[in-house]
Structure 1
Amino acid sequence: MNSDFTDNETAPTPFDETMPTAAPGFIRFINYMLDCILLAVIASIIINSVAPEMMPKSFEDVSSGMFISLLYPLQFVYYFGAEFFFGRTLAKVLTKTYVTTEFNEKPGFTAIFIRTLCRYIPFEYLSFLGNGIGWHDRLSKTYVVRNPK
């Protein structure tokens, strides 16, 4: 028997409302969609202000070389900067979620760098269909959780 334990101590409760909980899949999907829309708007504004003649005229033109060549580096800067400095993107602010480690600590440079790079793995967004944990979460050992109550 553990001599440090006394009968006066209370056992921890199985659910603590002050601890963060994993963000459900639909919230993760909303985060993804909101971030995609935001990035597309930012890329469009940049193209329109720098080279308005290159601005896509219709949805079919969105895959133009100029748009795509701006979108990928912009996506890297956005995700890396937002998650490294603030622990969340603008979509995560709206859905009250954030990126953390398994110990509920702010992820370091390497974890966020790996997380951001993994977003470029082909079909990475389909990795959520299995157990709800994306490759960019698993490989960087990070989690997206809801803010504690």
Structure 2
Amino acid sequence: MENNFDKVMSEKTNEELIKIVTIENSKYQKLALDSAEKEIESRNIDITEFNKIKDSVNIEKQKKDQLDLNTVKSSTRFVHFIVDTFIFFIFYVIVGSIFQAIFQFDVNKNFLFTWLLMVITFVFYYSFVEYHFQKTFGKYITKTKVVTINGEKPSLNDIIVRSFCRLIPFDRMSFLFIKNGFHDGLSNTRVVKE
């Protein structure tokens, strides 16, 4: 009689199966592990391929553990927030003044326009500096940078998603409850020590 785990494990890749029976075995119950081992045997995975995949999985796990170890604390993120908010407002005042001078339009008298200009400036500021430098001014001070969950430089898409996620209400407070706040979690990025 086939248990439910047999079907689930049959849909896993070789790498996922090897990961389950090696480094992630503590996360699974015995029946699931038995099904994973049975699936590995039925696929006749070559022992050299098994060891190669196992080694790459271990390296991946070590990189993730190192990344987790280097992930900065909420107090450091609070410093980033204070510094970057101050820099953003200076940047916004400059952009608003330039816009006002060019178009002879008082940005402070139109709430919707002011809000829209602020959002565009906000997303541009964070996207530009984090994409080009992997850090904002606050991160320069604390010697930290933005990386993907694999420890690599984020793509422009990752950074834009990260910047828009900062607009989620209570995003800044999310760091009080979870190690990596909303804009980290949703963009699959982390802030780590250099």
TM normalised by structure 1 equals 0.71
Partner of 1:137: 184
Native 8 Å contact 2:123 2:160 kept in 1: no
Q: CA deviation at 1:74?
A: 0.7
Give 3-state SS (helix, strand or coil) of 2:79's partner. Answer: helix
Is the counterpart of residue 109 in structure 1 residue 109 in structure 2?
no
* 1:38-117 aligned within 5 A: 38-51=87-100, 54=106, 67-117=114-164
Higher relative contact order (CA 8 A, sep 6+): 1
Following the alignment from structure 1 to structure 2, what is the Cα–Cα distance between the partners of residues 113 and 49?
24
Letter in 2 for 1:36: T
Amino acid at match of 1:139: L
| 2-structure distance, mates of 1:67, 1:91 | 25
Return the TM-score normalized by structure 2.
0.56
SS in 2 for 1:51: helix
Task: Assess if the C-alpha contact under 8 Å between 1:100 and 1:107 holds in 2.
Answer: yes
Larger radius of gyration: 2
Q: How far apart in 2 are the matches of 1:50 and 1:109?
A: 26
2:174 maps to which residue? 127
For residues 11-31 of structure 1, the C-alpha deviation after alignment (integer angstroms, 9 at most, x for no partner) is xxx9xxx97711111110110
Instruction: State the distance in 1 between where 2:120 and 2:79 align.
Output: 22
CA–CA distance in 2 between the matches of 1:140 and 1:47? 29
Q: Structure 1: where are the runs of 5+ without partners?
A: 5-13
Structure number with the higher helix fraction is 2
**TM-fit CA distance, 1:50:** 4.4
Matched-pair identity in %: 29
Deviations 1:66-124 (A, max 9, x none): 64332211110011111112111121111111001222210112221221111111221
Length, aligned pairs only: 127
